[in-house]
Amino acid sequence: MREAHPTERAVGIDHYVSDADGTGGRLRARPDDFRVREIERGEFEPIDAASDAYPHLVFRATLHNWDTNDFAGALSNGLEISRERVAWAGTKDKRAVTTQLFSVAGIERDALADAAAGLDDVDLTLVGRSGRALRFGDLAGNAFEIVVRDAETPSVEAITDDLRAFGGGETDGGDTDTGADATADTTATVGVPNYFGQQRFGSLRPVTHEVGLEIVRGNWAGAVLAYVGNPYGSEPDDTREARAFVERELRADDGETGLKAKTDGWEAALERLPNRLGFERSMAHRLVENGAGSEAAFRAALEAVPSNLQRLFVNAAQSYLFNRILSERLERGLAFDRAVAGDVVCFADPDAPEGLRLPDPGRSQRVTADRVDTVNRHAARGRAFVTAPLVGTETELGADEPGEIEREVLDEAGIAPADFDLPGAFHSTGTRRAVLVECDLDIERDPLTLDFSLPKGSYATVLLREYLKVDPVDLG
């Protein structure tokens, strides 16, 4: 293992699995260098099914250089409907070519075709009808084809060998990064820690987990200040200066509660915050309205932002703790591809598409010492997966050494599962998530191209980072 980039360490990612030097290179030099296609699951009614019984028209869109949210907004504008009537299964980044499912309520096919025709770089195919809107997560996974420009490729085989071994597979067993093998295309089954990627926390300003951790601790003022203050060097000058004002003038002397802040101080902050910082301004405006003399006022400020962002803060805190647990497991040398006594495993989704390793966290089991060998036979066949907690009120922590790791990480953060018993959108019951993500990887050279599929919820960047070993900002 080698130490991760400092920006990654700030979000709980402490290591690279591979010791080999990275290839470097550039992602997304042009949109078609990064192709993502959703792996769909489920079936829909025919297009000509009765629209009163099946009011949601489902379609597949291939988007060239479109952010998912921007496309939904543009489509709803073209249809002259609320954006709330457009739904999708998974959010994708802009600088890419993405193929994904959408649904739209109460619209006929001709109107949809006309609206799509008015949008550049959009290819649309009708799929069917549904009795409900698509929900986030209504997919099995994503297939990626990613081109890395200007990469140095001699170490590709060494990296692949490390990742093959980490996933429990056999290695080539020798020096494969020289000679003829160093220029050959590669096919391998590889594994990496199932970290939450940098995008989960903010690629340019990774603070969402800091906000969430303060919320879970009950420090509502600290949460507001972590979001509105907390300047980063990657931000524009006016943004950085406004956040620095908040830090300097409004944070309490003890650096914790933030209750030093007075209403007139937030008025001054509101004057400084650029208009493009809409959520920060909403929080500041609520504090001007309600005053800033109590934790209740700061909680109300956080509730001024959309509920999905409120959930994101807490989800990011859970993701950070999960990353820390994985990093500690790596540090202690515990395997990721097989269980030890005290682990909690989940089993494979029986309805997963063929060839996709899809864990089902709803089907879990504690591993006792007398069950380790049996469970690991299932793990070797891709039928069971070692998990770690996304901590919430109903979280079952592990036992023995895995449980010790989980409890130490929570203690270090000053958090307990019961702390997630929070109001409204901040509340979370928690779940578990596989610690290892495996994939069948095809690698081509000149240019370096990686072709692989991942289950839903896993990040392509957790694989890409092992190969490129660049600043995580350049992976976004």
**pLDDT tens digits along 128-157:** 999 999 998 899 999 999 999 999 988 899
121 within some domain:
yes
Band (pLDDT 50/70/90 cuts) for residue 177 is: very low
d(CA 432, CA 344): 9
362 and 292 share one domain: no
Q: Say how many domains are in the chain.
A: 4
Query: Do 454 and 360 sit in the same domain of this protein?
Result: no
Asked if residue 440 belongs to a domain, the reply is no
Confidence of residue 202 (pLDDT cuts 50, 70, 90): confident
| Tokens of residue 283, six digits | 């929080």
Q: What is the CATH number of the domain that holds 242?
A: 1.10.1510.30
Q: What is the mean pLDDT of residues 186-190?
A: 89
pLDDT digits (tens, 9 = 90+) for 250-295: 886 554 545 555 667 899 999 999 999 999 999 999 999 988 888 8
Same structural domain for residues 245 and 296? Answer: yes
Is 80 part of any domain?
A: yes
Token pair 């996933």 is at which residue?
167
Q: Are residues 277 and 219 in the same domain?
A: yes
Q: What is the pLDDT of residues 65-124, one digit of tens each?
A: 998 889 999 999 999 999 889 999 988 888 899 999 999 999 999 999 999 999 999 999
Once rounded to an integer, what is the mean pLDDT over residues 404-426? 97
Which of 93, 177, 337, 343 is an active site residue?
93
Q: What does 233-287 look like in DSSP terms, one character per residue?
A: TTS-HHHHHHHHHHHHHHS-TTSSS-TT--HHHHHHHHHHS-TT-HHHHHHHHHH
Same domain, 117 and 66: yes
Burial readout 30-52 (b: 16 or more C-beta within 10 A, e: otherwise): ebebbbbbbbbbeebbeeeeeee
Does residue 326 sit in the same domain as residue 421?
A: yes
Residue 180 pLDDT: 39
Are residues 269 and 298 part of one domain? yes
What's the confidence (pLDDT) of residue 172? 54
Q: Are residues 366 and 423 in the same domain?
A: yes
User: Residue 152 contacts by C-beta under 8 Å, 6 or more apart in sequence?
Assistant: 23, 24, 25
228 found inside a domain: yes
Cα→Cα distances 181→21, 84, 445, Å: 17, 53, 12
Among 251, 279, 305, residue at a domain's last position: 305
Cα angle, residue 349 at apex, residues 133 and 136 outer, rounded to 5°: 25
Residues 335 and 261 in one domain: no
pLDDT band at 166 (very low <50, low <70, confident <90, very high): very high
Give me the mean pLDDT over the 304-323 stretch: 95
Token pair listed for 160: 């692949």
Q: Say if 314 falls within a structural domain.
A: no
The answer to whether position 181 is within a domain reads yes
The first and second tokens of residue 37, run together, are 């296609």
Provide the pLDDT for residue 178.
37
Tokens 């495993």 sit at which residue?
Answer: 345
User: Does 140 fall in a domain?
Assistant: no
Specify the pTM.
0.90
CATH label of the domain that carries residue 95:
3.30.70.3160
Q: pLDDT band for position 182 (50/70/90)?
A: low
Residue 142 lies in a domain: no
Q: Are residue 27 and residue 152 in the same domain, yes or no?
A: yes
Same domain flag for 167 and 272: no
Domain termination residue (choose one: 279, 305, 331): 305
Domain identity same for 165 and 210: no
70 CB contacts (<8 Å, ≥6 apart)? 94
Q: Taking all residues of the chain, what is their mean pLDDT, rounded to a whole number? A: 91
Do 268 and 245 meet the contact criterion of CB atoms below 8 Å apart?
A: yes
Residue where a domain terminates, one of 305, 334, 357? 305
Question: How do residues 208-252 score in pLDDT, each as one tens digit?
Answer: 999 999 999 999 999 999 999 999 988 999 999 999 999 998 886
Is 93 considered catalytic here? yes
Residue 179 belongs to domain spanning: 2-32+148-194+446-475
